[in-house]
């Protein structure tokens, strides 16, 4: 059986750096399950922008992420620069269909990059991502022949890991999509 592959969003990594109990629990469970943990290019870029400021607690925690990322056994997502335009087009469809807000356009790129990295799950504590219409998101992923990454909150993911077999099932299988505009 292939190892579970999980992309970790910027907010999840900040939570891990702050020793948030649920993020620490998930991280331990994933390592116990021998999951492959990755960070996308856009999530890494967001962390870099935060770390450069170094004023707020969140910005300082971004530095902690970079200090500990190897110890946490989190690797970089391998995404070809050739996919950049495809990921941006995917992001634009999500914005047009109001799955994500235009001000949160990086969220669409993180989801697209997680898909191209063939992540099974994208773990996040980002409310906009968690509250996004998952049925339309799944539709766009399938319609554009992209890997069906599941965007899940920490709470949902802990439940999946604790209740399921060695590898959590596809959380969004069977969702019915409303008609998108692109």
Per-residue pLDDT tens digits for 64-83:
999 999 999 999 998 988 89
Distance CA(29)–CA(134), nearest Å, equals 25
Residue ranges of E strands in 1-149: 5-8, 36-39, 74-76, 121-124
Confidence at residue 2, expressed as pLDDT on a 0 to 100 scale: 57
Low-confidence ranges of the chain (pLDDT < 50): 1, 166-180
Confidence at residue 49, expressed as pLDDT on a 0 to 100 scale: 94
Phi, psi (rounded to 5 degrees) for 157: -65, -40
Predicted model pTM: 0.87
* Domains defined for the chain, CATH in brackets: 5-163 (3.40.50.1010)
Instruction: Check: CB of residue 7 under 8 Å from CB of residue 129.
Output: no
CB-neighbour burial class of residue 56 (10 A; exposed 0-12, middle 13-18, buried 19+): exposed
């Amino acid at each position: 059986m292939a190892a579970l592959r999980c992309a970790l969003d910027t907010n999840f990594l900040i939570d891990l750096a702050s020793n948030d109990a649920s993020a620490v629990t998930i991280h331990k469970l994933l390592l116990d399950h021998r999951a492959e943990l990755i960070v996308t290019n856009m999530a890494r870029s967001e962390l870099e922008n935060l770390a450069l400021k170094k004023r707020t607690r969140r910005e300082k925690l971004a530095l902690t992420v970079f200090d500990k990322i190897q110890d946490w056994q989190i690797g970089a997502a391998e995404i070809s620069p050739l996919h950049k335009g495809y990921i941006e087009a995917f992001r634009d469809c999500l914005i047009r269909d109001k799955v994500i807000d235009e001000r949160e356009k990086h969220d669409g790129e993180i989801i697209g990059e997680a898909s191209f990295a063939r992540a099974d799950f994208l773990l996040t504590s980002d409310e906009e991502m968690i509250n996004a219409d998952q049925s339309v998101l799944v539709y766009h992923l399938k319609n554009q022949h992209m890997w069906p990454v599941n965007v899940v909150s920490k709470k949902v993911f802990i439940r999946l890991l604790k209740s399921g077999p060695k590898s959590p099932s596809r959380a969004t299988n069977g969702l019915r999509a409303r008609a998108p505009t692109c």
